[in-house]
Amino acid sequence: MTMRPLPRFIAAITLLLAPATIPALAQEPSGLQAASALESVLVDAIAKSERSVVAVARIRDSDGALDNEPRAKDATQPDVVPDDFGSGVVIDAKGLILTNYHVLGDLKNSTYYVWVQRKPYRAKVRAADPWLDLAVLSIEASDLTPLGFGNANDLKKGQIVIALGNPYAIARDGQPSASYGIVANLLRPAPRPKEAAERGEGRETLHHYGNLIQTDCKLELGSSGGALINLKGEMIGLTTSLAALSGYERTGGFAIPVDDSFRRAVESLKAGKLPEYGFLGVEPQILEAQERRQGRHGARIRHVAAATPAAKAGIQEGDVITHVNARAVSDEIDLMRHLGGLPPGETVAITLQRGASETRPGRTLKIKVQLSKKQIASLRPGFAEVVDPAWRGMKVEYATASPAFRDQSPLLDAEGCVAVVEVARDSPAWKAGMRPGEFISHVGTTRVTTPRQFYQLVETQTGPVAIRLTAVGLDKAERTIGQSETPLEVPTQPDAES
């Protein structure tokens, strides 16, 4: 008895999946042959990647039992049940693990453990970034297998993908569980809190502006921090159970794409540093419905903040930004997504229409803008092992990254300045009257607009250094900071919220 021939289009798809792994088949292979070929591709991809996907667990460092008995701390013991579980991905052979920040919970009151192929390790947090919801843990291991990165920019709807992780903690021993499906959609937004009533509310990560991969792979609680891989065994996304965490009845399958922003952030986190993100300084709004029905796209600028890159470049209220670096902007959310992953200091090409209305498109202008730094607004403060530099007891930042910028921007020097964000008590800077929330426009007679410029100017100074402030009265603008007798460091603190 002969088997029913497989339809031609299914056979063609099968041959495209991994031609090198499929033996020579008849022109119309049988259904069993095609299924076996696809099965072989899936098995090989999982085998190539699973050693790099781990289990992550958290124990809260507090007495949580109702009988007030202290918790057991060593989660490597089989009879100890951790409070929370998640997944992770090996990104360095010497013990660096990538996961979602939200998997870690409260950094100050938690102890973390990682299981790699049944081997348990105590873990510590190296750095955690709230804007991309990424964190890197370190464990004392030197023989791990890092997972190779693919390129999420090449993804198409319908591609077959595999999710590896620790759903419901069933892979607690570090032997990851697998599910497979397709890429259901691209550039999807993370679920927002149900209490967010307006379009712009509840957006505390870049993912709320729509950069996620959507997949129909099952991603239950505990899958966050796992790997979404392609059929070559390359990681093209870091899985996240955002829909389940937001209280939705059915979990949505999402993954953070492995793109340029992701790679840059991971490199900073591996080094124990917080990634930095660019800031333009505009408040955009969606085009009118009539304009959108006419096929127009872009984001209309409702407000331009003073002393920002947008203001300095001449962007005006009413302008419609249509492209960023030659990439079309569909609406105001899309504009924020385009800009949100770029680094500060990067020069971007912006195309805009000025004088546009419902009846006319306006004239097209092309300008270049150098981005400043975004202050991250998040319920979870950023964390990094590497302490930012301090000079004579004072730390400075991009002006736009200061918590005081929003209120002070109309008063600041429009040509640029840096912000004082921390001052150690009794340091030379403190004795000179410097306080957090002030802004420095000059070191001596030289203008400073970035922290790097400031530190390069002052690091070679050995005697008193004159600085000039902006947004203060003339009688308080000139300060002289003396030389410290002993080295002073500013205490490490989480990133300020914006």
Q: Which of 127, 406, 399 is nearest to 273 (CA)?
A: 127
Please, what is the end-to-end C-alpha distance for the chain in angstroms? 71
Q: Cα dist. 436→308, 440, 444, 467, 481 in Å?
A: 20, 11, 20, 15, 15
Q: Which residues contact residue 135 at a Cβ distance below 8 angstroms, ignoring those fewer than 6 apart?
A: 98, 99, 100, 101, 103, 104, 125, 127, 128, 129, 269
The alpha carbons of the chain give a radius of gyration, in whole angstroms, of 26
Distance between CA atoms of residues 119 and 163, nearest Å:
22
- Give the residue numbers annotated as catalytic, written as ranges: 102, 133, 224
Q: Cα dist. 410→89, 304, 404, 432, 497 in Å?
A: 45, 11, 11, 25, 20
Is the separation of the CB atoms in 111 and 59 below 8 Å? Answer: yes
